[in-house]
Amino acid sequence: MSESRPIGVFDSGIGGLTVVKALRDLLPNENISYLGDTARVPYGPKSPETVQRYAIELAEMLMKQDAKALVVACNTVSSVALPALTEKFPVPVIGVIEPGARAALAASRNRHIGVIGTRATIRSGAYEKALRDADGGVRVSSRACPLLVPLIEEGLLNDEVTDQMILRYLEPLIADDIDTLVLGCTHYPLLTSSITRVLKRQIMVVDSAQNCARAVEEMLDQKSLRAAPLNNGELQVALTDAADNFLNVARDALQLKIGEVQLRPLT
């Protein structure tokens, strides 16, 4: 098995680039192939069966590039399709939910954790299950935030309208006395500064992208799949449809160097 094979990363749109950024920072010698399904974003309102079908299609496209591992940089997909992906593909598959849950439990002091995500992620109860499997006494307050992904995709990261929506979504969780907030969507780390500004109190914010990257590092070590230490990792980015704000959001918010973006229409 060639260690220089790329890590395949996919998401419904641009949100998964937060995971790519975390991977690039942590594992600069790894080659990464990113695939964003901009033709069908957002996944949150769609049925579990549809999300699972989309996820398998994207994973198959990355496997054709000889990916040595698949990183599901999407909480919605991680919440409903991870078992199917793990069963179908012969490479390690890493999601974002379990790493995020572990980090939240480590950060929480009052054992009351808030989770925000898409409707599909919250409806699945995946974070609640992961948290309670690890700690039966933890309290979990969840909230679907369906308007945040479209606002991010439009590049409205520091906008009054976005701040108003964040406040509207988070007020019930703040009133519930959570001390830790899990950003249960890989788009949401792009709003970390806005969320911190709106919270105006000491609530620990857990970024699923950073914790997913650490889980990938652990897996690569365990499976002896690390790239050569002196390898200069390359990033390839492909989308299933054009995205007007894609490059601006990636460059401005993440300071991520992206070369020519490939277009891979779905058949």
Which of 9, 59, 73, 74 is an active site residue? 74
Measure CA 64 to chain center. 22
Q: Which residues have a Cβ under 8 Å from the Cβ of 190 and sit 6 or more positions away?
A: 15, 18, 152, 157, 249, 253, 254
Query: At 197, is the secondary structure helix, strand, or coil?
Result: helix
Q: Are strands 180-184 and 32-36 parallel, antiparallel or unpaired?
A: unpaired
Q: What SS3 class is residue 264?
A: coil
**Cβ pair 249, 55 in contact under 8 A:** no
> Residue 40, class by beta-carbon neighbours within 10 Å (0-12 exposed, 13-18 middle, 19+ buried)?
middle
Active-site hit among 185, 209, 235, 237: 185
74 is catalytic: yes
Known catalytic membership, residue 145: no
The span from the CA of 4 to the CA of 13, in Å, is 26
C-alpha neighbours within 13 Å on the C-beta side of residue 227: 22
> Residues 207, 192: contact at Cβ < 8 Å?
yes
C-alpha distance from residue 119 to each of 63, 79, 126, 148, 236 (Å): 29, 11, 12, 11, 30
Alpha carbons 196 and 223: distance in angstroms, whole number: 37
Q: Which residues are catalytic?
A: 74, 185
